Amino acid sequence: MAKHKLQPDHWVDQYADYLFNYAVSRVSDAEIAKDLVQETFFAGLNSAKNYKGDAAERTWLVSILKRKVIDHYRKINSKKGKAEVRMNYSSDSEAEGDWLEQQVADPYSKDGDNVLENEELGSAIQDCITKLPQKQALVFKLKTIQGMSTEDVCNELDINPSNLWVMIHRARTALMGCLNENWF
Amino acid sequence: MKISCKEASGICDKSQYKEANLWDIIKLRIHLTYCKVCRAYSKKNSELTSLCDRAGLTMLSDDDKKKMKRDLEDKI
């Protein structure tokens, strides 16, 4: 198998969004997630000499990020008093007088499953997006995730609308194929 | 009234972003009544849209990325 090589100057363009999504779904805070991604890149740079080239670059970065997420939880838990689980009686008047038992999550609720499933779906889509050519991926993300208007995207990337729609079309077709294999 | 499959898929793509105009959508609808291939494409396309909505994808803003790049370059 061909050995992989690290190319730190492409990291941000290629992996930042993927890693960011990964982090956000685990720490549920965009600011913290952003810091973790940044720390991951720094750590990757520092230990670049330990990279043996067995794993793909992204897999390797994800494994660093995983450690960073764990460290993050260790850190917030080590602050005194934070490690305990606190349960407040609900302050809203609706629930007043209810027992704590009535406030715990409904065991028959499917919400948890949905959250998990959507998280997996998110990483499946991100996976597929990273397989697209870089410019297509960028156009697709700007339109679909950021919901930017066609005009703004065209101005920012200096392309014309028909270019944009061709790229969107290619990206969507590729994503459908990719998700077909990996999701359905 | 008749449009080609290429036009039809273009309108279909635009309508995923609510950027197709009413007249185009009518033309697309008519096309879909007799074109099986585009019907399949249109179905997949809307599925993709709803999957993307459901997944709650996020991305870093351009500024954030630029800052990250700068910080990273300082260290290289």
Nearest CA to B68 out of A13, A104, A5, A94 is that of A13
The domains of chain B are located at: 5-75
pLDDT in tens, A82-130: 555 555 555 555 655 566 666 666 666 666 677 777 778 888 898 899 8
Nearest residue in A to B59, CA atom: A17
Distance CA A146, CA A135 (A): 15
Burial environment of residue A142 by CB neighbours within 10 A (0 to 12, 13 to 18, 19 or more): buried
CB contact under 8 A, A42 and B14: no
Q: Phi then psi for A163, rounded to 5 degrees?
A: -55, -50
Chain A residue numbers with beta carbons less than 8 Å from the beta carbon of B51 are 121, 125, 179, 183
pLDDT in tens, A141-182: 999 988 889 999 999 899 999 999 999 999 999 999 998 887
Tell me the shortest Cα–Cα distance from B71 to chain A, in angstroms: 9
Q: Hey, what domains does chain A have and what are their CATH numbers?
A: 1-83 (1.10.1740.10), 127-184 (1.10.10.10)
Of B16, B45, B59, the CB nearest to A146: B59
Of A11, A20, A176, the CB nearest to B59: A20
